[in-house]
Amino acid sequence: MLKDTSAHITFDYDLSSFRLTSEYHISKWLFSVALSEHKNIDKLRYIFCSDRALLQINMDFLQHDDLTDIITFPYQYDPIQAEIFISVERVKENASRLEEPFDRELRRVMVHGLLHMCGYGDKTSAEQKRMRTKENTYLDTFS
């Protein structure tokens, strides 16, 4: 049975200049995404940080020396336990490049990490297409 564990979605900020406008609203939305994917969330932690911090994590843990907008550390898939690091700077730049509002691009990245925890990949072009379709579907449910 699926249960409401949205209280276990937390948001931490390594940047003094950034805060989500409505943690509660976003938590409820993310929980509804998990429910739609038939998943429970035990502990899902989002950490918002700088490009520099995420680059260091990328090099230390994944041996990748490049900028990224998100890194997901899965601890358990069902119920979901994960930490998701997001570079606010990278999201801002991507939003500008894609001509998307920052808040929408941020939610896209947030749901992207959750979808990874629901079993969706993005290594192949087919997986990327499916991931993007899922992201758009769930972005359209945010109100």
CATH number at residue 82: 3.40.390.30
Is 132 contained in some domain?
yes
Which residue range is the domain that position 54 belongs to?
A: 6-139
H-type alpha helices, 85-143:
88-98, 102-117, 125-139
For the stretch 16-71, pLDDT in tens is: 999 999 999 999 999 999 999 999 999 999 999 999 999 999 999 988 899 999 99
For the stretch 71-80, pLDDT in tens is: 999 999 999 9
Q: Write down the residue that tokens 């939610």 correspond to.
A: 107
> In angstroms, rounded to a whole number, what is the distance separating the alpha carbons of residues 115 and 122?
10
Is 66 contained in some domain?
yes
Is 123 contained in some domain?
yes
Give yes or no for residue 116 having a pLDDT over 50: yes
Count: domains in the chain: 1
Is 1 contained in some domain?
no
Sequence-distant (6+) residues with CB within 8 A of 76 are 42, 82
- Cβ atoms of residues 87 and 51 within 8 Å: yes
Is 15 contained in some domain?
yes
Instruction: Please tell me whether the overall predicted TM-score, pTM, comes out greater than 0.75 for this model.
Output: yes
For the stretch 87-105, pLDDT in tens is: 999 999 999 999 999 999 9
